[in-house]
């Protein structure tokens, strides 16, 4: 593939650094923000089912199980970001295009394989997590649909990642927002039944998600195929895919996968501990996760744009600019999470009241949100530093600090405080919040050593 076939207007390794961060990060942020708004809308509609708390608890249990299998997405995702963005920064466009094709194929294969495993293991996993009765039944119906479409989900996110990595962040944003808007439109139709569609309850929420993902994946592939992106996909005439380069993508992602696996498996331990305090606590925790995810998704959006930008800069040999870009992004990320944390701390009851009307659930959620909000700025710090390292394909530090965060600073204290010392559920909220403070500070100190600036892929 020659450079004349590439639209190279999307070069953010020049000009004011903050402008480059915002040009790459804001489209990704708005895209992921739309995803979190969808998740909140999804939870809202499910909370309007007759089962209410049990229905929300079902999604909470199921999400914990799904997180374990979403971690396998990291076997490919981080390596693809590093390689696609670095090759694009090097102006090695043929290798960039090849990496995009290899990423999508890998995602479909790996997602389909682990989706099949998850489909058959779902019910025993939900029982392990503490689901029972109505929550268990609804969780199985919801989760089975998700597992059937896991490969589609993996591949769809690679479309967004590839667009950001070749400096088409606005296209990724538009596609992502469109996908989530379609999902929000389909949700009440499939859940409650409208326009000739039968009411499918909580299973309908999952079917709406899968329908939107299939359409998004097809549209994304067409955009790449019809040369609307800076690097189009060549279904004929491109460099042949090879096992060695596909393995290289996976090898870079293995540490990130282990870190993600650590986080998601920790949820499999924390959720049943929370479940011992009752269904209302699980339901409140589920909404708390969605609220926290609101801030996280904003930062993940900026961070994914940032990781591609860091990869572009390092690939172009602009090391000093990469360092300044990283420092500026950390300030931006922490600042955003401070603002969100203040809002959550000031209005926790109002937030919980959107989903529930039972006083006990509201009281549980109010205390939980106020405690969790204290750790929001440190979540911003951790995520920015993690994405900086991901942008250069250096994922082992993230793995180590995720292990520290999830198992040493969360699981161990939670077990000691709730199971041995018999403290109430508030102790869990404090462990979750304070673990982020300690792990983020440690990760930032490592970042300051600058080893990421010399990483090779």
Q: What is the pLDDT of residues 203-249, one digit of tens each?
A: 888 899 899 999 999 999 999 888 788 888 887 777 888 888 889 88
- 13 falls in which pLDDT band (50, 70, 90)? low
Q: What is the CA radius of gyration of the chain?
A: 21
CA distance 337 to 375: 9
% of the chain with per-residue pLDDT over 70: 94
Average the pLDDT over 119-146 and give the result.
Answer: 86
Give the pLDDT score at 6: 42
* Cα dihedral: 276, 281, 287, 288 (round 10): -80
- 10 falls in which pLDDT band (50, 70, 90)? low
Is the model's pLDDT at 4 over the cut of 60?
A: no
Give the pLDDT score at 112: 92
Residue 198 DSSP symbol: P
Q: What is the pLDDT of residues 303-332, one digit of tens each?
A: 766 777 777 777 777 888 888 888 888 998
Q: Which residue has the tokens 């930008």?
A: 309
Range with lowest mean pLDDT among 47-56, 122-131, 315-324, 328-337: 47-56
Give the pLDDT score at 192: 87
Q: What is the pLDDT of residues 341-381, one digit of tens each?
A: 999 999 988 888 877 778 888 888 889 899 989 999 998 89
Question: What sign does the CA torsion over 192, 203, 107, 225 have?
Answer: negative
Give the pLDDT score at 299: 79
Give the pLDDT score at 346: 92
Is the model's pLDDT at 180 over the cut of 60?
A: yes
Give the pLDDT score at 5: 43
% of the chain with per-residue pLDDT over 90: 18
> Any residues with CB less than 8 A from the CB of 193 and at least 6 apart, and which?
199, 200, 204
Q: Do 244 and 66 meet the contact criterion of CB atoms below 8 Å apart?
A: no
CA distance 300 to 171: 17
Mean pLDDT of the chain: 83
Is the model's pLDDT at 142 over the cut of 80?
A: yes
Give the pLDDT score at 111: 92
- Helix (H) or strand (E) holding 316, with range, is none
> Any residues with CB less than 8 A from the CB of 13 and at least 6 apart, and which?
20, 89, 309, 312, 313, 316, 318, 321
Give the pLDDT score at 2: 42
Is the model's pLDDT at 90 over the cut of 60?
A: yes
Give the pLDDT score at 200: 80
Q: Do 275 and 130 meet the contact criterion of CB atoms below 8 Å apart?
A: yes
Give the pLDDT score at 252: 83
- 405 falls in which pLDDT band (50, 70, 90)? confident
> In this structure, what token pair is assigned to residue 234?
């060549």
Give the pLDDT score at 457: 62
Three-state secondary structure along 392-414?
CCCCHHHHHHHHHHHHHHHHHHH
Between residues 179 and 23, which one has the greater pLDDT? 179
Give the pLDDT score at 109: 93
Q: Which residue has the tokens 């529930």?
A: 356
């Amino acid at each position: 593939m020659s450079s004349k076939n590439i639209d190279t207007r999307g070069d953010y390794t020049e000009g004011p650094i903050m402008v480059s961060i915002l040009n790459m990060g804001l489209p990704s942020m708005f895209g992921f923000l739309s995803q979190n708004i969808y998740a909140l809308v999804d939870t809202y509609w499910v909370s309007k089912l007759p089962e209410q708390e049990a229905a929300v608890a079902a999604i909470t249990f199921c999400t914990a199980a799904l997180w374990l299998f979403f971690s396998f997405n990291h076997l490919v995702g981080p390596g693809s970001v590093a390689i696609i963005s670095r090759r694009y920064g090097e102006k090695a466009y043929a290798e960039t295009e090849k990496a995009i094709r290899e990423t999508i194929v890998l995602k479909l294969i790996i997602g389909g394989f682990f989706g099949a495993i998850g489909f058959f293991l779902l019910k025993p996993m939900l029982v392990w997590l503490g689901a029972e009765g109505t929550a268990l039944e609804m969780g199985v119906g919801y989760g089975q649909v998700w597992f059937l479409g896991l490969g589609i989900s993996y591949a769809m996110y690679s479309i967004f990642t590839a667009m950001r990595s070749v400096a088409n962040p606005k296209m990724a944003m538009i596609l992502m927002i469109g996908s989530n808007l379609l999902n929000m439109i389909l949700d009440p139709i499939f859940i409650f039944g409208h326009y000739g569609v039968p009411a499918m309850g909580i299973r309908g929420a999952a079917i709406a998600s899968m329908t939107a993902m299939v359409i998004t994946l097809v549209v994304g592939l067409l955009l790449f195929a019809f040369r609307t992106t800076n690097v189009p996909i060549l279904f004929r005439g491109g460099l042949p895919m090879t096992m060695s380069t596909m393995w290289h993508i996976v090898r870079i992602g293995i540490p990130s996968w282990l870190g993600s696996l650590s986080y998601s498996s920790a949820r499999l331990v924390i959720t049943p501990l929370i479940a011992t305090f009752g269904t209302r606590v699980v339901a409140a925790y589920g909404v708390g996760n969605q609220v926290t995810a609101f801030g996280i998704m904003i930062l993940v959006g900026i961070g994914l744009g940032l990781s591609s930008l860091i990869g572009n800069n390092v690939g172009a040999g602009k090391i000093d600019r990469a360092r300044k870009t990283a420092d500026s992004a950390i300030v931006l990320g922490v600042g955003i999470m401070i603002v969100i944390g203040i809002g959550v701390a000031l209005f926790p009851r109002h937030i919980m009241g959107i989903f529930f009307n039972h006083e006990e659930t509201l009281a549980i959620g109010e205390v939980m949100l106020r405690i969790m909000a204290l750790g929001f700025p440190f979540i911003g710090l951790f995520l920015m530093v993690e994405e900086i390292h991901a942008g250069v394909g250096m994922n082992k530090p993230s793995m180590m600090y995720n292990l520290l965060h999830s198992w040493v600073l969360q699981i161990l204290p939670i077990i000691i405080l709730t199971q041995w010392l018999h403290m109430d559920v508030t102790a869990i909220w404090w462990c979750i919040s304070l673990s982020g403070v300690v792990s983020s500070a440690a990760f930032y100190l490592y970042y300051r050593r600058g080893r990421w600036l010399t990483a090779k892929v």
